[in-house]
Chain A
Amino acid sequence: MRIRRILLVCLLFFMSVDVAGAKKKTPFVTLMTHDSFAVSQTLLDSFQEQYGAEIKILKSGDAGAALTQAILSRKNPLADVFFGVDSTFMSRALSSGVFEPYESPFLRDITDSLKLDPSNRLLPVDYGDVCLNYDKSWFLRKGLAPPRGLADLILPAYKGLTVVQNPATSSPGLAFLITTVRKYGEAGYLDFWKKFRVNDVYVTAGWSEAYYGKFTRAKGGTRPIVVSYASSPAAEVYYSEKKLVDTPTAGVLSAGSAFRQIEFVGIIANTAKKDLARKLVDFMLSPAFQKEIPLHMWVFPANPETPLPDVFFKYAQKAEAPTILLPEAIENGREKWIEAWTDVVLR
């Protein structure tokens, strides 16, 4: 009796799964991306109106983890389009063969210097400068000068003030590590990190944990310096409950202390929905989508003609002479840098 009842429950369950699956007949295209992806529902709806298909968003962890999953399952694709490959992971993405080329007509509107892949398997969507952000009022209260560059971070006065991300699991973390490699050279960057560790640097796994968890602007946060984006201060103004005339945070933009991160979109090879996938890529490069990037993802749109919202125009910053490293150079160094960094900073 009991067994029969259990079987019945199983049966019902699988049937209910089928019914739930059968109800949704609207065609859809799946966009795999990282956890920080954000756009408005109106924008997503406008795609559906235009092309009669729904965009399903599949968030799969940090940029690195999401890309690895896409590569690991390339023989059985999880999605049709992938957004969020950045310059640090570009070589890996291209050599894995997970993307197929697509020369979108919208590419001609995009800044040329952002197009790092001549084969057009990865198309630039946005860019931003990864740099240190600091809490202005905290430094004012303590009577301490805010950091001017990387070198300040290892001074005794700045002990225990900084939170960074693990380069093994976070793309801004990796971008910041590369910035230090670039600034201090292969011979010197580990020395910097050794001193940084002595100066009690805090390491989180991902960006949101650092910015919304440990940064002093977050509830319960204790660190007034965080690795984030040069455009983050604009978000602070935009989201603040009080009307602000100035940003509560600022980026450290001095030469050699920032890294230009470009984010790309690509069509996953062997997708069954190639047409829809192409439409989605076009959509992401189109003015309507580009216009949403600043206030939702807080980075700069790749189309330079995109009108910037006021708050972004006023408060989002770009670094002076950000570090730009070719994907091949990053690919050659990444594993070695991350291992050495882990050994020096975490163990």
Chain B
Amino acid sequence: MKFRLQTWLVVVPLFFLGIFYFYPLISIFFLSFMPEGAFDVTKLYKLVSTSYYVGVLWFTIWQAAVSTLLTVIVALPGAYIFARYDFKGKALLQNLATIPFVLPTVVTAAAFHALLGPRGLVNTILMHLFQLETPMIHMDQTVWFFLMAHVFYNYTVILRIVGGFWSRLPENLTESARMLGASDIKAFVTITLPLLKPAILAASLLVFVFCFTSFGVVLILGGPRYATVEVEIYRQALHLFNLPMASALALIQIGFTFGLIAVYTRLEKKVAVSLTLSGSQSVNQKIQTPKERFFVVSNITGMAVLLGAPLMALLLQSVLTEEGPSLVYYAGLLENKTGSILYVAPITAIANSLGYALGATLIALILGWFSAAFLVSSKEKWALVLDPVFMLPLSTSAITLGFGFVIALDEPPLNLRSSMFLPAIAHAMVAFPFVIRSILPAWRSIPQNLRDAAALLGASPLQIWARIDWPILRRALMVGAVFAFAISMGEFGATVFVVRPQTPTMPLAIFRYLNHPGSLNYGQAMAMSCLLMITTALGFLFLQKIKPRYGGF
């Protein structure tokens, strides 16, 4: 009986996906092929025929490729020392290095503003030092500004994937090469690099996908000069009110991300296979020679500067005012001043974010739970089909999803535009694949014979559930909940479209503040970013604490 129920529960997530994923996507299709109700592909044709849109597409690919290349070059030495050496504080460092990756993109953008923007820390110091009246470093509106931000938050992807793979490569191959007279460089190029290739490829592809769909960072740091496909969808829809064109762009975006994710899934399997083949982790070396020490220390210093400086700058800028250190920017978050650019007091934006995040977490947990229940209990054939379907929202950009919501869900029978639940639902769509990925391995890890043994000893199904399944699943659910909560708190792309201006969220408030000059707006952007950063970082560190006990994702 219980198994039947478990299987039927899948109706709920499927129903949800149908309404809040496929329906908006289908609306996008219709809008791009039939903008005025009749079949008309001129918008799509225009997309590929004019230099403007080809330029946008080309720039998106170009910046993603350059960001990926830079990230690999910058992070590879770090991956090496993490794979080969054993030193004090290594685990802590690895966890800290992951924080940029889990930060909301708006916070990343604010942090780079805080460090290198025209009013940023570096410029302020330089202006004081050299008695200048104008900023010395002009990073804003250059492509380097957001390329750096891309390296900043993708660093850990290379570090973890390549580093993890590297640490399992047998060291003796390289040593034999050296013994046979190959130089360090030659040994690296001819032996290590080819062996690392699948891991580097998989990690690079992942970074490429992240940068390809980059929105918040490019929008905020790139200025009007640069537009990825994501940013262009946003501009076409919200600034130029060219919905058919936005749909056509979204269509292209969907095609690209699906293709990239499909390739990645393949590559990932390959990496996983070779990982198991090469056996256990090789022994970590202690640092011995001064040369090694220098290499490790300089690397860690570089990492600390790249990953730590923007976050430190953010913290500092949130308390440094023109009159010296003070908490006025934080205090200002409580006031609702007339004429302010927000409709409500900033503190309300924080409350909104918390409210949406709680709602989104609840929805995502239920959907994730029901989906996982199905995947665990159903026949393998069905699981193979539905598992990728549940992962689909993951490979759709948030902008596309938000845009789809706006054009699909604003008329009967599904008129939800003014519903308070819409943002929570949008966030839940983004988050629930993560919940499945948190629960599923734990659920699958429960050995069936444990349940059978309990049944033999006379335990009722309820007792089995309460004593065996639940204790294991509880922790996994907690992980999923933290993920969903953090994703919802920082979600920006879909939120831009879905949230009504009366009920802004924290990322939206930060975005609005950053867009408006004036030291109070700037300071409040910094203060709110800090709050968001601390929330996310704490959530993540909490995950690190409870995760190892059951392993898996």
Contacts and interface: CB of A to CB of B under 8 A. Distances in A.
A13 B355 contact: yes
Given A168-B240, A205-B223, A10 B362 contact: yes
B515 A206 contact: yes
Contacts of A73: 410, 417-418, 500
A244 interface: no
Contacts of A94: none
B355 A220 contact: no
B411 A68 contact: no
A65 B410 contact: no
Contacts of B73: none
A65 B501 contact: no
A48 interface: no
Given A35-B341, A169-B235, A346-B225, A209 B515 contact: yes
B517 A203 contact: no
A297 B406 CA distance: 32
Contacts of A346: 224-226
A218 interface: yes
Contact of B338 (A14, A44, A213, A338): A44
Given A166-B224, A208-B517, A335-B240, A78 B502 contact: yes
B144 interface: no
Given A65-B239, A71-B241, A76-B417, A212 B502 contact: no
Interface string A202-244: 1111101100110000101110000000000000000000000
A78 B500 contact: yes
Given A58-B343, A59-B341, A208-B516, A203 B223 contact: yes
Contacts of A65: 238-239
Nearest to B58: A347
A9 interface: yes
A284 B143 CA distance: 44
B338 A347 contact: no
A343 B134 contact: no
A202 B134 CA distance: 16
Interface string B396-409: 00000000001000
B101 to A, nearest CB: 26
Contacts of B242: 335
Interface in A28-49: 32, 35, 38, 41, 44
B118 A68 contact: no
A212 to B, nearest CB: 4
A92 B226 CA distance: 26
Contacts of A204: 223-224
Interface in A320-347: 335, 338-339, 342-343, 346-347
Given A75-B417, A342-B52, A220 B119 contact: yes
Nearest to A347: B55
A13 B343 CA distance: 20
Interface in B129-147: 133-135, 141
Interface string A138-159: 0000000000000000000000
Contacts of A209: 515-517
Contacts, number: 118
Given A68-B238, A75-B415, A78-B500, A41 B338 contact: yes
Interface string A5-34: 010011001100100000000000000100
A64 B517 contact: no
Given A35-B516, A205-B224, A220-B134, A343 B52 contact: yes
A288 interface: no
B80 to A, nearest CB: 39
A96 B242 CA distance: 12
Interface string B502-540: 100000000010011110000000000000000000000
B89 interface: no
Contacts of A169: 224, 235, 239
Contacts of B447: none
B324 interface: no
A212 B517 contact: yes
A114 interface: no
18 contacts: A10-B358, A32-B501, A72-B237, A73-B410, A75-B411, A168-B235, A169-B224, A203-B223, A203-B225, A205-B224, A205-B515, A208-B517, A209-B516, A213-B517, A220-B134, A339-B50, A346-B224, A347-B59
Interface of A: 2, 6, 9-10, 13-14, 17, 32, 35, 38, 41, 44, 56-62, 64-65, 67-69, 71-73, 75-76, 78, 92, 96, 166, 168-169, 202-206, 208-209, 212-213, 218, 220-222, 335, 338-339, 342-343, 346-347
Given A169-B239, A347-B52, 12 more contacts: A9-B358, A13-B355, A41-B338, A68-B238, A68-B240, A72-B241, A73-B500, A169-B224, A206-B515, A220-B119, A339-B50, A347-B59
